[in-house]
Amino acid sequence: MNHKNFDELISNLAIRQDTYIYGPTGTGKSRAISDAAKQLGLPFFKKLVGSQMTESSLLGYMDGHGKYVEGITHKPFTEGGVFLMDELDNGNPNTNLVLNGLCDGELAFPCGMRYRHKDFVVVGTANTTGHGATLEYCGRNRIDAALTNRLVFVSWPLDEELELAIALEELKRFPNGELKNKTVEVLLKDIKKLRQAVKELKVPNVIISPRTTLQAVRKLAVGRSELEILQRVLLKGVDVELSKKILVQAQSIELLTNYLDENKQWLKDILTETQKKSILLDQDLKANPI
**Quick one: pLDDT at residue 286?**
62
* The last residue of a domain, from among 155, 181, 201: 155
**Quick one: pLDDT at residue 177?**
62
Look at 29-33, 53-57, 255-259 and tell me which has the smallest mean pLDDT: 255-259
Alpha carbon 207 to its chain's center: 10
Looking at the fold, whether 251 and 195 belong to one and the same domain comes out as: yes
* The last residue of a domain, from among 133, 155, 177: 155
- DSSP reduced 3-state for 101: helix
Alpha carbon 251 to its chain's center: 26
Amino acid identity at 283: Q
Is 32 exposed, middle or buried (CB count within 10 Å of its CB: 0-12, 13-18, 19+)?
buried
State the Cα angle at 175 between 174 and 180, rounded to 5°: 85
* The last residue of a domain, from among 155, 170, 199: 155
Looking at the fold, whether 149 and 44 belong to one and the same domain comes out as: yes
pTM confidence score: 0.82
> Number of folded domains in the chain?
2
Tell whether the model's pLDDT for residue 268 goes beyond 80: no
Tell me the per-residue pLDDT of 220-249, one tens digit each, with 9 for 90 and over: 888 888 878 888 899 998 887 888 788 888
Look at 20-34, 234-248, 274-288 and tell me which has the smallest mean pLDDT: 274-288
Tell me if 1 is assigned to some domain.
no
Looking at the fold, whether 130 and 174 belong to one and the same domain comes out as: no
- Write out the residue range of the structural domain in which residue 184 sits: 160-287
Looking at the fold, whether 68 and 134 belong to one and the same domain comes out as: yes
Cα dihedral across residues 167, 172, 178, 182: positive or negative:
positive
Q: Give the whole-number percent of the chain exceeding pLDDT 90.
A: 57
Q: Give the whole-number percent of the chain exceeding pLDDT 70.
A: 86
